[in-house]
Amino acid sequence: MSLLETITIGAIDRIPLIDFGNLLTATPEEKHSLALQIREACVSVGFFYVKNHGLPAKCVDDLLVALNEYFSLPEETKLKLRWRTLENFKGYKPLLGANVEPGNRGDLHEGFEIGWEQLNASTDDDKTAHARVTCGENVWPSEPAGFREAMLNYYHAVFAVGEALYPLFALALDLPETYFDDKTRRSAPIMRPLHYPPQDGPVDDRAVGIGAHTDFECFTILWQQPEILALQVLNSEKQWVGAPPIDGTLVVNIGDEFARLSNDVFKSAVHRAVNRTGIRRYSIPMFFGMDPDVLIEPIPSCVDKERPAKYKPITAGEYLDQRLKAMYYKQMSNHM
Ligand SMILES: O=C(O)CCC(=O)C(=O)O
Ligand SMILES: [Fe+2]
């Protein structure tokens, strides 16, 4: 069945789960079968869970300890690395500092943002050089001890999961498996662990952990804290579908760059997180994109007479820049 023939699938009421168990040793047929499952998930809702992804549990456990200690520091300590003061996108993002959904009262989460960095860098590499050009170097708090190591260990483990996903997405889009290889050499994901404190203010639809939004880049890999139901995804019937944490899984969702590339055949679904459990919640998103000079335009397998190209070509760098500026200028009036 061609890619465009898969579009007729109706609204779904739960997020599909895909088992990556045999990815490392997968035969071409097995890879193809995984790609078809990914295609179905991306065409129908744009979200899926992955199990047996290879991310060591210790990476998550160590990072959670570090995050818990870091976010428990006094606000004035954390504000020393406030991202806006540093004039680059890295560092601490305070509570209510962002508001992705106009009309809301501000997003009830705080975060800490980093990009590519080798744990033990002796020589520079393409990705580090690129990260410096686009957004500056990472900044690190002096406490807790081990924060940098825990962050970077997690970063590189999930980076490997992302690297394994690009060829599967390529196959899912009827592209050659290596399609993204030369388009992702210099780019590297942004990682932004988030802390959603228990919500004690007004509990209504305008006060949420992160307001309704779509992600900007190709795809996002998200770890979410077990047992806390917070993440919700809008399906094609405009109903909120819960994406509850499933132990040992990661959530993957399509972002707007893949939606553009696939002419909206792959859905970049609106999602939000609402933590009304009375317990603090952590989530760890990592946003994967393409090199800044890559031209993003609808690919031929996703365009035909009935579905003409919806998007003009734009480079990944320009697109991301536009989206970031639109978001951050909107928030300038907010006390970031
Ligand atoms: O915390 C979550 O579950 C979602 C976070 C998210 O959507 C984002 O950071 O873009
Ligand atoms: Fe998101």
What local confidence, expressed as pLDDT, does residue 325 receive? 76
Q: Does the structure show a pLDDT above 50 at 333?
A: no
Question: Which residue's CA is the closest to the ligand 1 atom numbered 8?
Answer: 285
Pocket test for ligand 1, best of 89, 110, 215, 222 (most atoms within 8 A of CB): 222
Read off the tokens for 233.
């995804």
Instruction: Find out whether 35 and 175 touch, Cβ atoms under 8 Å.
Output: no
User: Could you tell me which residues come within 8 angstroms of residue 34 by beta carbon, excluding any fewer than 6 positions away?
Assistant: 18, 20, 23, 26, 168
Average pLDDT score over residue span 175-188: 94
Across the chain, mean pLDDT equals 87
Q: Does the structure show a pLDDT above 80 at 244?
A: yes
Identify the nearest ligand to the CA of 272 by its number.
1
Q: Does the structure show a pLDDT above 60 at 211?
A: yes
Strands 17-19 and 47-51: parallel
Q: Output the CA 272–ligand 1 centroid distance in Å.
A: 7
Q: Does the structure show a pLDDT above 60 at 260?
A: yes
Pocket test for ligand 1, best of 210, 229, 323 (most atoms within 8 A of CB): 210
Residue 8 or residue 245, greater confidence: 245
Counting atoms of ligand 1 from 1, which one is nearest the CA of 109? Answer: 1
Q: How many domains does the chain have?
A: 1
What local confidence, expressed as pLDDT, does residue 96 receive? 65
Question: To which residue do tokens 């944490």 refer?
Answer: 245
What local confidence, expressed as pLDDT, does residue 14 receive? 85
Pocket test for ligand 1, best of 194, 276, 286 (most atoms within 8 A of CB): 194
DSSP 162: H
Question: Which residue's CA is the closest to the ligand 1 atom numbered 1?
Answer: 283
What local confidence, expressed as pLDDT, does residue 135 receive? 61
295 CB neighbour count, 10 Å cutoff: 13
Q: Output the CA 210–ligand 1 centroid distance in Å.
A: 7
Measured CA distances, 324 to 26, 317, 321, 332 (Å): 38, 11, 5, 12
Identify the nearest ligand to the CA of 286 by its number.
1
Q: Output the CA 99–ligand 1 centroid distance in Å.
A: 13
Average pLDDT score over residue span 195-218: 78
* pLDDT band, very low/low/confident/very high, at 334 (cuts 50, 70, 90): very low
* pLDDT band, very low/low/confident/very high, at 101 (cuts 50, 70, 90): low
Q: Does the structure show a pLDDT above 80 at 255?
A: yes
Question: Which residue's CA is the closest to the ligand 1 atom numbered 3?
Answer: 231
What local confidence, expressed as pLDDT, does residue 216 receive? 94
Residue 227 or residue 210, greater confidence: 227
Q: Helices H, strands E: what count in the chain?
A: 8, 15
Instruction: List, chain by chain if needed, residues with CB within 6 Å of any ligand 1 atom.
Output: 194, 210, 215, 222, 224, 230-231, 271, 273, 283, 285
What pLDDT digit, counting tens, does each position of 27-74 carry? 999 999 999 999 999 999 999 999 999 999 999 999 999 999 999 999
Question: Which residue's CA is the closest to the ligand 1 atom numbered 9?
Answer: 285
Instruction: Find out whether 284 and 222 touch, Cβ atoms under 8 Å.
Output: yes
Instruction: Find out whether 263 and 310 touch, Cβ atoms under 8 Å.
Output: yes
Bridge partners, residue 190, by sequence: 287
With pLDDT > 70 as the criterion, what percentage of the chain qualifies? 85
Q: Does the structure show a pLDDT above 50 at 111?
A: yes
What local confidence, expressed as pLDDT, does residue 205 receive? 64
How is 212-248 classified by DSSP, letter by letter? Answer: EE--SSSEEEEEE-TT---EEEE-TTS-EEE----TT
Among the residue ranges 51-55, 85-89, 135-139, 301-305, the one predicted with the least confidence is 85-89
Gyration radius of the chain's alpha carbons: 19
Average pLDDT score over residue span 305-326: 91
CATH code for the domain in which residue 190 is found: 2.60.120.330
- Residue-number span of the structural domain to which 38 is assigned: 4-334
* pLDDT band, very low/low/confident/very high, at 131 (cuts 50, 70, 90): low
Bridge partners, residue 47, by sequence: 253
Task: Measure the CA–CA gap between 270 and 46, rounded to whole angstroms.
Answer: 9
Average pLDDT score over residue span 149-165: 96
